[in-house]
Structure 1
Amino acid sequence: MVSRRSHTKSRHGTPFALGCSNCKRRRVKCDEQRPFCGNCTQRQDACVYNAEGPYFFAGKQSRRTRQTGSCSSTRQRHTSLSFPEWDTTLNTFRSTNESADSPVLNMEQLQLVIQWIQHTHTFLARNEETRKVWETAVLEEGLKAPFLMHGILGLSALHLSCTRSSEQGRWLSIAISHKNKALSMFSEQLSSINRSNAKAMMSFAGLVVIFGLGSALTPGTDVGPSLDALIEIFTLARGVQAVVNEGFQFLLQSNFAPLFEATPPTIPFAEDVLIAFDHLRELNTQLGQQSVGHDSASYERTIEHLRDMAAFTWAQPTSMTLVGGWAIRAPSQFMSALERQEPFSLVLLAHFCGFLNMARGNWCVGPWGSMVLKEINQLLPSDWQRHTDWPTSQVLGKEHIDSNVSPMEN
């Protein structure tokens, strides 16, 4: 059996601590208040969270509102990059030192909007129809929902931080500032999702998932691609579905409808991929016959969903449909087994990593597939490792397959 690694439950119920980067570095307990934790507020440090917990999708609010002078100075530092506040009258951003009738022109934010239109939005699309939604419809919703506009600007800035090494620090700081502002505003509306904000709420929830993937690839951050971090991404993705469910019928009849058309493309897989899926089904059947505790039915559905979602990656390698789609569709029993690191669940996740690695050209995916696969292979006992031959050969090369591994006993 796979050895169990102990986990420290955070106050938000996630399988590993989500404290801010300063508290992690100082090895002190973080109260995880958002947007600024108590320790950073007291020390007047910039508070940065490198992963977003699912509590944003569960409607949990900060337990206290800070009115102290130290908090004000901390918040000022987070907005000291001269980001204008949202002007509800002008329906745009306005600098605090401008009068309401002054002309508004913020070149930095205009640059981020151009980045979104020209580049960032394309990595969220799986086809031309969904690309148009992300490019135009989502941006138009951002004009009505400040938190979504902050999310769009934040993700575009994060994209720039990952692609412009010479300006990485600058754009990362801007990305984090927009993200913190957006999360604070977004959480206030979680308990009142309706037709007026359903599009914006769903869009922003999706952006949080992408931000979680991309921020883990930024040099200098405390959280990088790992098995635990990927499980957290899955949790966030399932949270998106919880937000969608609040206004699903309305969304399905709106101009956002293409986002919900997830019929797998009819593109044939290569022979080695078909063999790999056949092996997973046969192994699932074998394990069900050997152990009454093995949930064959749930695993069978998980395998079928993986095949369906992998087809999107096969058709469009940079598509993000695999990441969120599989997590949303996978049975809760599988997600629980994955948190317990049951061997067969890790084998299935290894195959997911094989397809995820095909999307490595997407700036927010990069080495996620290869890094998590390496960790899975280290966790699996030797008699299980032969069941990850296909993803290992696809991602790491055939030379990484141990031909001397003994087969699983029948």
Structure 2
Amino acid sequence: MPPRRSHKKSRAGCRRCKVRKIKCDEVHPRCGNCVKHGVPCDFEAPEVADELAPVATPVSVSTVPSTPIPMQPPIPVAAGRLSPGLEPITPALLSQPTNLTRPNTSNQADRLMELRLMHQYTNVTAKTLLNNSPEVDEVWQRVVPNMAFEGRQYLADAILSVAALHLRSENPQDKALVRASHAYTASTLAEYCASLEKGINAENAEALFLTATLIAFQSVASRIFAKDDTEADPDDPSSRYALPLPWFHAFQGVKTIVASSWLWIRSSSIVKAVIDSQPGLQLNLNPSGVGSFFGHLLEGLDEELATEDPHMMQTTGRSYTHAVCVLNWAHRSTFPAASLSFPSTVARRYVELVEAKRPRALAILACFFALLKRMDDVWWLQDVSRREVMGLVGLFESGSKWWRHLEWPIRIALWDGTTIPPDIWGHEFDAAAPAAPQGFVSHIELMADLMGQAPDQLASAFNPIGEPPPPLTAESPD
């Protein structure tokens, strides 16, 4: 192996490069990074330093924890606490900026920006959240803003944050939108976490559920703007790709809120409309049987488990198997958004395996992102398939035995065209099949009844420690 190239740290770099923790070339009057991204540099404009100076906020988290999905203090609820293994969303888990304050609406520019964002949300963005019925359109477009106007600051900021990200996707050079999206994201998380600490109850359960859902959209959309120019190891190109762990934290955060507040939201027509707008899982519990398109991802699993810690063998095996079951179901579903069930339903152990960069876990994840190719026309998922699949592929060594398992996701991710032929996709959809079979609410109701409707027990049933959640509907194995 050739010796590592020396790396000289920048000591006199511009403030923007220091804030972003990237190497500054120290070129005056404007450094190369600021020129590249078309942003002001404090070498030429000293006032930029004031703009970037950190401001104290209610949440003082600035780094991502090094341990996988760290345990957080339980969320107090009226009838119990969250079960271990289910964590609330926090700024640390989502890697969101927290050194920005909410815009001051007494300032005319901020006030006009807020009006612009609310107009964008109600007229455009609310219609892009993968709704599939007029009832759900009504919820996101009218009911949710009205609920925010009743004093739910975290919900209002979540609305404005998603709208700002949407506008940023269309106007990437608009610096005011960049600042607004960062500020409203930070404010959303700060207010949301503060509300969770006070406890979930009948009065705020609906709003917290809707906020958690918008945070999930927010977390996914933020990856559009993730730069791969962080300070990386020059001898390791793979270090320039950040694993998409915020996907799991955000979507599983929604599941956490549902589990801990179901006693109060089970009778909500608003929540029912949103949950039932997604297809219910119908898993074939034989992931390697006839018709299992992704069964090959489990080849050699027994050999891998033989090297596993004996206490983790069963949990690891089940987490891989369940993840492949979800892939098989989403691959055959006529509803493209069915794929989004993956990050919210996989086991906590599987997320740990992804964070550990286990080849099998990464190959499964690449197949999940390939499934999202069918939604390339959705702004917050645009190009996500190509970007994430190729980023994950870059983590595999040349000559890896896993390359043959990556052929399908690579082919799909790089497909150039609006329609993927059945022989390339690997399945021919039945045009007469219903677009989105329902079933999520009925499954939660069944679990709530079986668990005696206790929030902590229901939360445990959603995702017991290290175990994949039970399937919503199990088909007979082939």
Q: TM-score when scaled to structure 2?
A: 0.57
Deviations 1:370-401 (A, max 9, x none): 12211222323421110122111111259xxx
| Aligned equivalent of 1:14 | none
| Aligned equivalent of 1:271 | none
2:404 maps to 1:386: yes
| Aligned equivalent of 1:25 | 21
Which of 174, 192, 195 is residue 186 of structure 1 equivalent to? 192
List 4+ stretches of structure 1 deviating above 6 A.
48-56, 59-62, 219-223, 274-277
| Aligned equivalent of 2:132 | 127
Which of 203, 209, 214 is residue 196 of structure 1 equivalent to? 203
| Aligned equivalent of 2:224 | 217
| Aligned equivalent of 2:3 | none
Distance across 2 between alignment mates of 1:387 and 1:117? 43
**In the comparison of the two structures, how many residue pairs are matched?**
320
Which of 225, 248, 253 is residue 262 of structure 2 equivalent to? 248
- Is the 2:166–2:379 Cα contact (8 Å) retained in structure 1? yes
- Is the 1:226–1:371 Cα contact (8 Å) retained in structure 2? no
2:391 maps to 1:375: yes
Deviations 1:32-74 (A, max 9, x none): xxxxxxxxxx977344999988779648799xxxxxxxxxxx9
Q: Structure 1 residues 358-367 or 43-52, which shifts more?
A: 43-52
- Is the 1:52–1:212 Cα contact (8 Å) retained in structure 2? no
Counterparts of 1:214-293 in structure 2, within 5 Å, are: 214-218=221-225, 228-255=242-269, 256-261=271-276, 262-264=278-280, 278-284=292-298, 286-288=300-302, 291-292=305-306, 293=308
- Is the 1:298–1:334 Cα contact (8 Å) retained in structure 2? yes
- Is the 1:22–1:47 Cα contact (8 Å) retained in structure 2? no
**Structure ranking higher in helix proportion:** 1
Summarize the Cα distance change of 1:386–1:250 in structure 2 as closer, same or farther, 3 Å threshold: same
| Aligned equivalent of 1:137 | 143
Q: Structure 1 residues 188-197 or 208-217, which shifts more?
A: 208-217
- Is the 2:386–2:413 Cα contact (8 Å) retained in structure 1? yes
Distance across 2 between alignment mates of 1:133 and 1:226? 39
Higher relative contact order (CA 8 A, sep 6+): 2
Distance across 2 between alignment mates of 1:397 and 1:375? 16
- Aligned partner letter, 2:188: A
Structure 1: gaps spanning 5 or more residues: 1-19, 28-41, 63-73, 85-94, 98-104, 267-273, 399-410
- Is the 1:161–1:172 Cα contact (8 Å) retained in structure 2? yes
C-alpha deviation, 1:203, in angstroms: 1.7
| Aligned equivalent of 2:163 | 156
Distance across 2 between alignment mates of 1:26 and 1:374? 23
Secondary structure (helix, strand or coil) at the match of 2:244 reads helix
Summarize the Cα distance change of 1:181–1:43 in structure 2 as closer, same or farther, 3 Å threshold: same
- Aligned partner letter, 1:303: V
C-alpha deviation, 1:352, in angstroms: 0.5
Secondary structure (helix, strand or coil) at the match of 2:149 reads helix
| Aligned equivalent of 2:116 | 111
| Aligned equivalent of 2:339 | 322
Distance across 2 between alignment mates of 1:226 and 1:242? 31
- Is the 2:165–2:181 Cα contact (8 Å) retained in structure 1? yes
Distance across 2 between alignment mates of 1:60 and 1:282? 36
Secondary structure (helix, strand or coil) at the match of 1:210 reads helix
2:148 maps to 1:147: no
2:62 maps to 1:45: no
Deviations 1:86-109 (A, max 9, x none): xxxxxxxxx489xxxxxxx95543
Secondary structure (helix, strand or coil) at the match of 2:268 reads coil
- Is the 1:238–1:328 Cα contact (8 Å) retained in structure 2? yes
C-alpha deviation, 1:354, in angstroms: 0.7
- Is the 1:154–1:179 Cα contact (8 Å) retained in structure 2? yes
Distance across 2 between alignment mates of 1:257 and 1:276? 35
Distance across 1 between alignment mates of 2:160 and 2:374? 27
- Is the 1:154–1:174 Cα contact (8 Å) retained in structure 2? yes
- Is the 2:220–2:246 Cα contact (8 Å) retained in structure 1? no
Structure 2: gaps spanning 5 or more residues: 1-15, 24-48, 56-60, 74-86, 93-98, 231-238, 283-287, 417-478
| Aligned equivalent of 1:302 | 323
Counterparts of 1:325-404 in structure 2, within 5 Å, are: 325-381=341-397, 382-397=400-415
Distance across 2 between alignment mates of 1:50 and 1:60? 11
- Is the 2:251–2:343 Cα contact (8 Å) retained in structure 1? yes
- Aligned partner letter, 1:233: W
Summarize the Cα distance change of 1:106–1:371 in structure 2 as closer, same or farther, 3 Å threshold: closer
Secondary structure (helix, strand or coil) at the match of 2:379 reads coil
- Is the 1:227–1:375 Cα contact (8 Å) retained in structure 2? yes
Distance across 2 between alignment mates of 1:61 and 1:347? 28
C-alpha deviation, 1:115, in angstroms: 1.2
Identity over aligned pairs, percent: 18
- Aligned partner letter, 2:319: S
C-alpha deviation, 1:348, in angstroms: 0.8
C-alpha deviation, 1:328, in angstroms: 1.8
Deviations 1:280-323 (A, max 9, x none): 324425423674346443322111223344566x524xx4x533
- Aligned partner letter, 2:320: Y
Secondary structure (helix, strand or coil) at the match of 2:380 reads coil
C-alpha deviation, 1:226, in angstroms: 7.7
Summarize the Cα distance change of 1:125–1:330 in structure 2 as closer, same or farther, 3 Å threshold: same
